[in-house]
Amino acid sequence: MNTELYIDAQRRWPSRRCRPGGKWILASFDDESVIVHQAYNHDIAKYACENGCFTGCPTYNEQRMTWIKTSFLWMMYRSNWASRSNQQHILAIWLRRSAFDNYLARSVNSDIDDLPSDPSIRLKGRVRLQWDPDHEPHGEPTLGRRAIQLGLRQIDSFLDGRDILRIVDISSFVRNQYTNAVLPKRRRGRDQLDQLRIPIVNIYEPDDEQIRRHIQLDSIDITETR
């Protein structure tokens, strides 16, 4: 996984000069894949990395909704840099780009109540879309943009690995960067993050215009970035 200095990454990202709360997907991606992040305990993370999937893991509950996030810093906020219970292992999951776009196309915004009134109706195959405030390395919300996360409920092609190219445990990298992300605030002030490295991420836009409209993605002019 390629990384760069956080201060360099900021120059390419939507800034506070852009529309407040803008919806942009910041992700690591190439022509074939989009990287998403999840946090698990040791047993699930070990199984997933060794098998390239989650199906068959004794302690993994395939009935629950599982959330994937493209924003590395949002994942750091959620897991408190891999320190919260059952979130000590951060996984980088290389999803097929076609699969990621398919999830977006199928998604229903969490603000919309599309759930059936009859609880007996199965919810298998559902994708929920949620736009949350993105976060700074110290954990404060970013006013200028929101981060996307997708809730997958029993998506078989994700669970059994057909949508996945590979899974890597990046917990060691996360813990190494924790001191560069958190300690500067305590010792030198919140803006001194010159040593922090993060995965290289850019603004991701699906090629399909219908998908971009469906998820209400904001467009951005390069002059609006830092």
User: Phi and psi for 68 in degrees, rounded to 5?
Assistant: -115, 145
Q: Where are the domains of the chain?
A: 3-111+124-218
Q: Which amino acid is at 198?
A: I
Say which DSSP state 99 is in. Answer: H
* Six token digits for residue 52: 């390239």
Return per-residue pLDDT of the chain as tens, 226 residues.
899 999 999 888 876 555 556 899 999 999 999 999 999 999 999 999 999 999 999 999 999 999 999 999 999 999 999 999 999 999 999 999 999 999 999 999 877 655 555 454 445 679 999 999 899 898 888 877 899 999 999 999 999 999 999 999 999 999 999 988 876 555 555 556 888 999 999 999 999 999 999 999 987 654 444 4
CA dist 108 and 214 (Å) reads 9
180: tokens are 């560069």
Residue 4's identity, in one-letter code, is: E
**What is the C-alpha separation between 122 and 131, in angstroms, rounded?**
25
The overall pTM is greater than 0.95: no
What is the DSSP secondary structure assignment for residue 29, as one 8-state letter? B
